[in-house]
Structure 1
Amino acid sequence: MGVPGYHLPVLLHEVIDLLQINPAGTYVDATFGGGGHSRAILEKLGENGRLLVFDQDEDAYRNRIEDDRVTFVQQNFKHLQRFLKLYKAIPVDGILADLGVSSYQFDTAERGFSTRFDGDLDMRMDRRTSLTAADILKSYSEKRLQYLFQEYGEVTNAKTLAQTIVSMRKAHSLRSINEFKAMIQPVVKGNPAKYLAQVFQALRIEVNDELGVLKDLLQQATEVLKPGGRLAIITFHSLEDRLVKNYMKNGYFEPQEDHPFSMETPPKIFKVVTKKPVTAGQDELKNNSRSRSAKLRVAEKL
Structure 2
Amino acid sequence: MADARALLKAKRQEARISHPHATYTSAGQLKCILCAAPVKFASAWEGHLGSKVHRTNLARLREEEKLEKERLQREQQEEESHKRKRSALVDHDVSEDDEMDTDESRESKKRRPDSDKPTSSSAPSAGGFPQDFFSDPSRKPELLSPDSDEENEDENTMSVDPPKPDAAAKPTSEVDLEYERFQRELLQQSASSEEKVEAFERATVFAEPQLTTEVEAGFPAKDAEQATVDPANTIPPEEEIRQKREQEERELIMDRLLDEERAQEDADNRVLQMKSRLEAIRKRKGLKKQK
For the criterion TM > 0.5, the same-fold answer is no
Give the structure with higher Rg (CA).
2
More strand by share: 1
| TM superposition score normalised by structure 2 | 0.12
| TM superposition score normalised by structure 1 | 0.12
Q: Which structure exhibits the higher relative contact order, with contacts defined as CA atoms closer than 8 Å and separated by 6 or more residues?
A: 1
More helix by share: 2
